[in-house]
Structure 1
Amino acid sequence: MTAQDSTTAPTSIAVSTPGDTETGTLGAARGAGPEHRSTTPGHGDARADARTGTLLAALGVTAFSLTFPATAWGLEGFGPWSLVAVRSVLAALVAGGCLLALRVPPPGRRHWAGLAVVAGGVVLGFPLLTTLALETATTSHAAVVVGLLPLTTALLSALRTGARPSRTFWAAALAGAAAVIAFTVQQSGGTLTGADAYLFGALLVCAAGYTEGGRLARLMPGWQVIGWALVLCLPLSVPGALVALSYEPVRLTGHSVTGLLWVAAGSQFLGLVVWYRGMAAIGVPKASQLQLAQPLLTLVWSVLLLGEHLTPAAPLTAAAVLVCIAVTQRTRG
């Protein structure tokens, strides 16, 4: 193109980027996020979309904040292995029904390895480890420890993508980790307990699942990522549920059934659906800020639903972790 051609070329020509060939068509098919839409024609529509997205993301955070209290209820009538296996089967049935109803084709073979990481971390690893922890730990204790999950996810994501966060980011990350470790040691009388080991393991596997799921969510809708991960676990979760139910006694009560149904449909599927839709509307940074309220919400639910009594260290540590995570969210931008 000559210099004259370049000056007269229309400004509306779209400039392709390396990701356009992969994400552009998919983004149009599934409803592109705010970064793919032009908000110039109607700012009112953009503001309405932002309000809707904020509400959806907030609903997702609320659903996640109820997971630990609902798990505690479920453990009143189910064993830990039965609760995890049955919740996975029920969530997979809901997700599979949605995939079938919408005639969603299976993802490409190149995506199944990533989906296996999501399944191992989010569908099986995190629920199992946190359920085992809640057999001896209170939900308020678990909420503070797992309040480090957004920070852990950010750290693993930085390692996975090769990004170089600032010194402020790393200082806040270390401060948050120190606050959580100090809390767990203080609560356990100077030593880490088996429950704490389960919770820290849950942090790592869930962060790995979130990191890989975030990568896949750029290639397919987020609800399909968790949906296919749940379906992928059926060959393990179905026989696992049958074996666990044959060995662990079951006592059906209002609390145990309600807790099971919530962690299956609410936490493991529907909460993720509205969460991903909210992120698509308002963007990951804003949605992440909303998730900072999750540990404090869980502390509130533990008092209201379970009658737990909080020690002064629990809310103080939760607040310290929130501050550290907020700093990392700002510096990452």
Structure 2
Amino acid sequence: MRAQSSATAPTRIAVTAPARTTTAGTLQAALGVVAFSLTFPATAWGLEGFSPWALIAARTVLAAVIAGGCLLALRVPLPGRRHWPGLAVVAAGVVVGFPLLSTLALQTSTTAHAAVVVGLLPLTTALCSALRMGTRPSRTFWTAALVGAAAVVAFAVQQSGGALTAADLYLFGALLVCAAGYTEGGRLARLMPGWQVIAWALVLCLPLAVPAAAVALAYEPVRLTAHSVAGLVWVAAGSQFLGLVLWYRGMAAIGIPRASQLQLAQPLLTLVWSVLLLGEHLTVAAPVTAAAVLVCIAVTQRARS
């Protein structure tokens, strides 16, 4: 009897471990999405006291200092030489490209409009993943993803009156570079801890970010207020570091295509924050879009690759 119970124990562990990993990965990716949903409102706050260039440079320096401090405190060794090209892609897309282009867009766009346009990021990330890593999600997955993206596009077009603006072009560019950074970061997160991926990407940007911040802060007007300081702190520590740590850990656990679909909820969360924090007004279309997006999320999470 003892031999029997000892033989069955490993089977029970093998069956439950993947479920725990999937649940934990989904939770981490979801928390990352919550952190990201505050990025645009926090950026709008930051722009009350900083120019776009000063805000981007300062947030990168602050986030890199936090990341570098963690790496030093834990005595993390340098990544292998083969990982640096991938880290450069993460740095270019997630640390520099997306924050810069989205911040430029928010000079003339509302956070609500920017949020719904960036709602296309899950589909863009899934496409980049398929091209870069050879993933083959099911037809059900792609159908749900396309429906969710269509709902987001329809909402965005309705909000902008049917015409694309310069801000939209900035946002579409931000989608492409961010999707590339997410895909490469998700791949690297399978080879090293997820927090180290974004930490090293941030440190990689430090030699450029420090002089850029010095020049921007010296030559562009700065008006420190509670909002501008809080916005800077959040986009640096919350969005740029903590949110990406959770996001990459989640992607490594549940896969890039599935994790990317959780971001379909991000525009709706950002709309809520835009009302609560910025006083923007939602249209009647918001709850309809929210319902369609949440259904798509449920379908993509159940669809098997």
TM-score normalised according to structure 2 size: 0.85
Q: Map of 1:45-64 to 2, 5 A cutoff?
A: 56-64=28-36
Asked if the contact 2:122/2:262 (under 8 Å) is kept, the reply is: no
Asked if the contact 1:151/1:173 (under 8 Å) is kept, the reply is: yes
User: Partner letter of residue 299 of structure 1?
Assistant: L
- Tell me the CA shift for residue 88 of structure 1: 0.4
Aligned to 1:247: 219
Greater shift, 98-107 or 235-244, is seen at: 235-244
Give a deviation string over 1:12-38, Cα, whole Å, max 9, x none.
9xxxxxxxxxxxxxxxxxxxxxxxxx7
Which one has a bigger Cα radius of gyration? Answer: 1
Aligned to 1:109: 81
User: Partner letter of residue 312 of structure 1?
Assistant: V
User: Partner letter of residue 270 of structure 2?
Assistant: T
Q: Distance in 2 between matches of 1:324 and 1:88?
A: 34
Q: Pick from 261, 264, 278 the counterpart of residue 306 of structure 1.
A: 278
Asked if the contact 2:148/2:264 (under 8 Å) is kept, the reply is: no
- Tell me the CA shift for residue 308 of structure 1: 0.5
Q: Map of 1:74-153 to 2, 5 A cutoff?
A: 74-153=46-125
User: Partner letter of residue 113 of structure 1?
Assistant: P
Asked if the contact 1:86/1:241 (under 8 Å) is kept, the reply is: yes
Q: Pick from 257, 266, 291 the counterpart of residue 294 of structure 1.
A: 266
- Tell me the CA shift for residue 329 of structure 1: 4.6
Cα 1:56/1:211, change in 2 over 3 Å? closer
Which structure carries more helix by proportion? 2
TM-score normalised according to structure 1 size: 0.79
Asked if the contact 2:145/2:261 (under 8 Å) is kept, the reply is: no
User: Partner letter of residue 98 of structure 1?
Assistant: C
Aligned to 1:19: none
Unpaired runs of 5+ residues, structure 1, are 1-11, 13-37
- Tell me the CA shift for residue 172 of structure 1: 3.9
Q: Distance in 1 between matches of 2:65 and 2:233?
A: 12
SS of aligned partner of 2:224:
coil
Q: Pick from 37, 40, 62 the counterpart of residue 65 of structure 1.
A: 37
Q: Distance in 2 between matches of 1:139 and 1:264?
A: 18
Aligned to 2:4: none
Report sequence identity in percent: 80
Q: Pick from 175, 194, 197 the counterpart of residue 203 of structure 1.
A: 175
Asked if the contact 2:101/2:171 (under 8 Å) is kept, the reply is: yes
- Equivalences, count: 296
- Tell me the CA shift for residue 272 of structure 1: 2.1
Asked if the contact 1:147/1:318 (under 8 Å) is kept, the reply is: no
User: Partner letter of residue 271 of structure 2?
Assistant: L
Asked if the contact 1:144/1:314 (under 8 Å) is kept, the reply is: no
- Tell me the CA shift for residue 240 of structure 1: 1.4
Q: Pick from 195, 198, 218 the counterpart of residue 223 of structure 1.
A: 195
C-alpha root-mean-square deviation of aligned residues, in Å? 2.9
Unpaired runs of 5+ residues, structure 2, are 1-6
- Tell me the CA shift for residue 305 of structure 1: 0.7
SS of aligned partner of 1:249:
coil
Asked if the contact 1:141/1:314 (under 8 Å) is kept, the reply is: no
Q: Distance in 2 between matches of 1:142 and 1:316?
A: 18
Asked if the contact 1:148/1:321 (under 8 Å) is kept, the reply is: no
